């Protein structure tokens, strides 16, 4: 665990925090050589967005004749009773 003096910590705080979060390694801030604060990354999991593709898998059945379903009715709508 690294120890940084107060001046270095203030100067490089953003970088130190980024490294702590990325590496998961805490660090200590000291004043006049005496450790004052331990900075530890918080373990917060990013929420996983729900998957939209395939969300109804197994709940819907498409018939084999899907492409020709209702073709007679559709033809009648377009052509009339010819």
**Is residue 67 one of the residues assigned to a domain?**
no
Q: Number of folded domains in the chain?
A: 1
Domain for residue 48, yes or no? no
Domain extent at residue 35? 2-39
Check residues 47 and 60 and name the one with the higher pLDDT.
Answer: 60
* Position 45 pLDDT exceeds 80: no
Task: Write out the chain in H/E/C secondary structure.
Answer: CEEEEHHHHHHCHHHHHHHHHHHCCCEEEEECCEEEEEECCCCCCCCCCCCCCCCCCCCCCCCCCHHHCCHHHHHHHHHCCC
Over 80: is that where the pLDDT of 76 sits?
Answer: yes
User: pLDDT exceeding 90 applies to what percent of the chain?
Assistant: 37
* pTM score of the predicted model: 0.51
Q: What is the CATH number of the domain that holds 31?
A: 3.40.1620.10
């Amino acid at each position: 665990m690294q120890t940084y003096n107060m001046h270095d910590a203030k100067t490089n705080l953003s970088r130190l925090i980024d490294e702590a979060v990325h590496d998961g390694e805490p660090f200590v801030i000291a004043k006049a050589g005496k450790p004052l604060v331990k900075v530890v990354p918080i373990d917060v999991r990013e929420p996983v967005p729900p998957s939209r593709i395939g969300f109804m898998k197994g709940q819907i059945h498409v018939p084999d004749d899907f492409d020709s379903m209702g073709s007679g009715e559709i033809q009648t709508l377009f052509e009339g009773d010819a």
